[in-house]
């Protein structure tokens, strides 16, 4: 039996609540199965791992505008379907609470505890005017696509969500 | 048939995937080799999830007992 651990990568491109939950469900399951999981947050996926209140300054006007319409934080994420101006999201959250399913905010520290690596994409960060200080502490590094591709080339499971 | 005995029991009733598997992994980590963990769950997914998990991690699935809508899964920590 091989001693080397298996690897899995998940590109989180979507900034939607249901997609983020799916990503974390799979990530934590894989981590629980002794697989080394790396999550690469890019584009809208950055919103999953940003703090709600951003303190970092020095943003140009376009980035500032982007920041105003694209506010961060896992709590603000919408459903990809049937969000219904928030009604759908509320219904989903209630169902999850009734079924004792962990919220996204609870899944993230759990994933971290299980050894899942959180990486953020520097290019997307520039586009959205985000800096390292805007991210939650779980994000361990700020990298480019080559970092992602290298890990993916060694992984048995590679997902794009 | 000898009933399966456990050194530790975790109650995952009401919890859905991936929580029973995650809790199993976390609990087994804290147990000694050869010890048996009993996981009680009511999410049917565990019938295929647990064999998949033990196949991947190398721990031994001793058996799954089903009664009253509850699944009692017995896992032995590998050496």
Give the model's pLDDT for residue A145: 94
In a domain, B51, yes or no: yes
In a domain, A95, yes or no: yes
Q: Report yes or no for ipTM above 0.85.
A: no
Beta carbons of A150 and A1 less than 8 angstroms apart: no
Q: What is the CATH number of the domain that holds B15?
A: 3.30.110.40
Look at chain B and report how many structural domains it folds into: 1
Beta carbons of B74 and B38 less than 8 angstroms apart: yes
pLDDT one digit per residue (tens) for chain B, 79 residues = 567 889 999 999 999 989 999 999 999 999 999 999 999 999 989 999 999 999 999 999 999 999 999 999 999 999 8
In a domain, A33, yes or no: yes
In a domain, A1, yes or no: no
> B31 phi and psi, to 5 degrees?
-100, 165
Element (H, E) at A105: helix A104-113
How far does the CA of residue B2 sit from the closest CA of chain A (Å)? 29
Q: Please confirm, yes or no, whether B12 is among the known catalytic residues.
A: no
Nearest chain A residue (CA) to B55: A33
Give the model's pLDDT for residue B3: 75
> A56 phi and psi, to 5 degrees?
-65, 135
Among A145, A149, A119, CA closest to A132: A119
Which residues in chain A are closer than 8 Å to B14, comparing Cβ atoms? Answer: 99-100
Q: Given CB atoms, is A34 within the 8 Å cutoff of chain B?
A: yes
Look at chain A and report how many structural domains it folds into: 1
Domain that holds residue A39: 6-160
Three-class SS of residue B50? helix
- Model confidence at A124: pLDDT above 50: yes
pTM of the prediction? 0.88
Candidate list B7, B9, B11, B17, residue with the active-site label: B17
Mark yes or no for CB contact B57/A100 under 8 Å.
no
């Amino acid at each position: 039996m091989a001693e080397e651990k298996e690897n899995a990568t998940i590109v989180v491109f979507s900034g939607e609540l249901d997609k983020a939950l799916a990503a974390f469900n799979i990530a934590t399951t894989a981590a629980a199965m002794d697989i080394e999981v790396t999550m690469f947050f890019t584009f809208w996926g950055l919103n999953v791992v940003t703090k709600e209140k951003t303190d970092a300054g020095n943003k140009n006007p376009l980035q500032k505008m982007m920041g105003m319409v694209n506010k961060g934080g896992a709590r603000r994420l919408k459903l990809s379907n049937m969000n219904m101006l928030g009604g759908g999201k509320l219904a989903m959250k209630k169902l999850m609470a009734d079924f004792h399913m962990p919220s996204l905010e609870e899944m993230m520290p759990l994933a971290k505890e299980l050894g899942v690596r959180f990486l953020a994409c520097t290019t997307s960060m520039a586009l959205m005017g985000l800096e390292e200080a805007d991210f939650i502490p779980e994000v361990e590094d700020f990298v480019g696509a080559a970092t992602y591709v290298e890990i993916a080339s060694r992984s048995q499971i590679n997902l794009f969500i | 048939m000898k009933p399966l005995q456990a050194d530790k029991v975790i109650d995952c009733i009401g919890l859905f995937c991936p929580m029973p598997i995650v809790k199993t992994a976390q609990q087994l980590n804290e147990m000694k080799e050869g010890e048996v963990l009993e996981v009680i769950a009511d999410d049917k997914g565990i019938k295929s999830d647990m064999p998949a998990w033990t196949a991947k991690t190398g721990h031994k699935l001793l058996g799954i007992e089903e009664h009253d809508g509850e699944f009692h899964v017995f896992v032995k920590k590998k050496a």
